Chains A and B, each alone.
Chain A
Amino acid sequence: MHEKKTEKKPSSQVSPYSAVGIVAAQSLGEPGTQMTMRTFHYAGVAEHVPTGLPRLIELVDSKKEPKKSVVEVYLKKSLASKESEAQDVAFDMESVLLSEVALVQEDLAGKKIVITLKEGEAKLLGVKMDMVKEAVKKTVGAHKVEARGNRMHVTLGVGIAPKAKTKKQKEKEAAEGPAAPTPLKELRKLTMKVGKSLVKGVAGIKRSVVLKGDGEYFIRASGFNIKDIVKIEKVDGSRIYTNSVIEIEKTFGIEAARNALIREISSVMELQNLNVDKRHIMLLADAMTADGKVKSIGRHGLSGEKAGVMGRAAFEETIKHLVNAAITAEDDNLVGVTENIIVGQTIPIGTGRIKLGMKVRK
């Protein structure tokens, strides 16, 4: 009944002028309607980690920081099988702020800050007095610090060099005489700062949990700070993972960010049991990272920098684009799809790119 086709087998190569961008956008956008909005739960580390559509939107927006960032840290191969080592590293990583282990009080009359160590909490979190002392010294800078047992006094204004004054202040001073210092305000500011000073651990890392996977123990923690985590001796710096694309871009560069984007988008799709060809995801990631830095989809990123004035005006912020184009006498060279539709011409994509002429017999 069926005869095998004798004609040339269709090549699986893409044809020139294929509208691969549109197909990629559709392939990623169309399943959006089928995605669930359920959030994901990393037990003990982060709750309500977005998955599905909200996560996908977060990725294409390439926000500064994901809503719930998570970092996975692996130990050096030789230590990886020991749970206790992993526990140690996890414990070392968790950041502890001064206000968590000590009472920070202001002595308004004495213009002092009184810091009292809360022994119970400190012991539980592995904080010792000298760690506190060091942390406080680091934050207060040149102010005078005295330590007596579990107590510390930071006295304001003793031994601080006056801040370099700006030109304006100098002018003002010349006119009105030196401005009266407001020590109480300074005191309050410093108290807040002291309370937030890092006593122990890696800045930004909050909760961590040791997990077992693939024959070794690894640590999953909320937050991210790859630069400082790598400094921990037992950590294998070559196997660290975070779901923050921006953090990856900052520490490892644009190529790594591209790979992270592909990986993250793929995992969103997989988790929803949606099948999308890798090539579409790659194209999106490549378009977002082509200029050397991660750019978002939308008016502040790729769409806002498109070639044609009319294309940009048709998307968002119509008036702004038209006005700016007018004062610089910008040309729209009609290179995009939107622009050509607006002027009523064939689009420069697909069969629209083929120019075919025929001589008419006279």
Chain B
Amino acid sequence: MGTASSLVQNTQTPIQFKKGRILLIAPDNRLSKIGIYFVHIVNTAKMIELVDEWEDLLNRYKHSANAIESLLDDFQKGPKLRKLIQKGTPSKFRWETWKALLKAGKKVDSEKYINLPIAGDPHISVIRKDVDRAFPQHPYFDRSKHGYYGQTALYRILGKFAEDKKDIGYCQGMNYVAGFLLMVSGGLEAEVYYFLEALCKNFHYWGFVCEEMPLIKQYLWVFDKLFKVKNSKLYEHFKQQDVLNDMWVFKWFLTFYTAVLPKETVVLLWDWLLVDGLRVLFKVAFAILEMLEEKLLSIDGSEILIMLSNIGDYIPTCKEFIKIAKKTSVNKSKYYDLIEAYKQKKKIKKHPETITIIEEPGHLENEVPNISRADIKEANRPAALEIKDNTPKEPDLLLSPQRIQQEITEDLTGFPFKSIKTAKNNYTYTPKYEPKRDSFHESWTDVNTRINEDSHLYTSDEDFDAEALLDQFLNHSNWGSFE
């Protein structure tokens, strides 16, 4: 047991194998205690190469406080950055990269987060229900294994958000976005909260989820116009069958595809989305329609809707899909003209708090911040840190065991799930501070199959058998030998 927890504390350093690496992340670095892990496996030559490329690049910035942020600042000029991120950010660096893209990193204030109050009704009763319905298949949200751990984190994020951002409150669909972010970040609750905030402020997400939903109305209107031009045959068919855009693309846009596409695809889609902006939403939608066109033309209204709400079953695997989607064109000037036209039509209200960093989709092509690398280095000089310190940091959330205890007790008093009684004993939320070997092992292999988008992406490349290695790793009596 002792060796297991010492291993866990060292989660940020990947374990090296001959042909691959495994990185373990425990949610907010505390869950190692009850057996949930996020496992990132780098298992192919291609992927190793990519990670090395990133590490080399980041190494250049090892003197800045946040190497990834500095790297991105320098890469703002566009094509280089786009190329780099769109190769598929290595999962090890993905969360930090996303945070840097949205300028969310500096906002994270774990202490403040803990003390934020949770909203009351009407929001909270909807949230309570919805946290239970976000990604229930994922190990992090698997109640039978970990109680309500993931759900509680999601509950707190959404509840605190609804209270703090009164103009947004809670909108159904946010559970998918926040739940997805929890999985990508490796369960970093406070960071997800501030990322969500940045997504609202800097990426126009507020306009999708606030009470009046002005932006989703705008984009649906624009989508309708583009759809009509782009694929008039399908457009007419939908019209004839009484299939309105509200009924399908609405959900795709509202959840930025987190609720409709397989997780591995969404991860790559967001890599792309956060760099290229909201026009990506359109490209993906049109790519899907194009792929399914023939089939869609042959079925009637309700069948169309059923198909479009289960598109994950019909489209190719993630990497292939993204490749096709990227080739789908959405005429840029036409797109912006339409947005302008809509704004003229509606005289849209601007969100008072919106600081528009991402002015409109494709911002990176236009905006070049005038900061030189020397400036950045100078500004960040005092912190002469090793590169390792720039990988996801442990939040200050849980410094002392007392703090952990206190937090958890607080959770329990306002616990959202009291009324649900399950017969299972493992429902209890109280974390066991000693890891249970059995559940440890179980969740581990499970996480392995679920989480790791990298292994999913590059399966054909080499004969690296991550699962066998994990087994070997887990059953090995001497944990230390792998470090």
Chains A and B form a bound pair: no
CB within 8 Å of A: which residues of B?
Answer: none
